[in-house]
Amino acid sequence: RNLTRDECEAILRASDNPPTPIHIRVFVHIMLRTGVYGHALHDLKWKSVNFDDRTIVFEAKGKSKAVTALIDDGLLKVLHDAEDLSPPGCEYVMQFFGEPVKSVYVGLSALFERAEVENVIEADLRRASATFAVAPGDAPTVAATPAVSTSHLFISYCSRDADTRAFELVNELERV
């Protein structure tokens, strides 16, 4: 489903507060701010994060191509927090006690409940990156959002400022 900007902000607020573990916080911030697929985050290593250039390179895997995403101020803070909490020698950004995280299902479910946002799945965060990342009327920025399909960008961009009935219609069309 398409998340509204208010829902995205509620999820981010909940992720930035205890008891949210750092790996869930990192996951949510990167998904909403870059639009990459969740599996790319599980494989993300610190060597792919360039704090100086403020970029993250998501390596090519299978048929997918490498993607470079920009790090905005909010994501920069979260990544620095995650780096500070990483055990020495840990190479994975998404880690739990030094081990790479394989699933975020339980943590995300608890987070969505705390944020009071219902019927959300992991993929909704990725699709919502266009909704969250840009201000209304900022089509060039939407078009430059990495890793999100054109159809999701179009649907998110068009639906986010529409009235309730139009928003419901777009959600219905997306299911077809």
Q: How confident is the model at residue 5 (pLDDT cuts 50, 70, 90)?
A: confident
pLDDT of residue 39: 87
- Closest by CA position to 46, among listed 95, 12, 1, 93: 93
pLDDT attached to residue 106: 95
C-beta atoms surrounding 131 within 10 Å: 23
User: Which of residues 127 and 174 earns the better pLDDT score?
Assistant: 127
What token pair was written down for 121?
């799945």
Convert the pLDDT of each residue in 37-87 to its tens digit. Answer: 888 899 999 999 999 999 999 988 888 788 888 898 999 999 999 999 999
Average pLDDT over residues 104-108: 96
Backbone φ and ψ for 55, nearest 5 degrees, come out as: -135, 155
Tokens of 122: 């992991």
- Helix 105-115, helix 5-15: angle, nearest 10: 110
pLDDT in tens, 109-149: 999 999 999 999 999 998 888 776 655 544 444 444 554 44
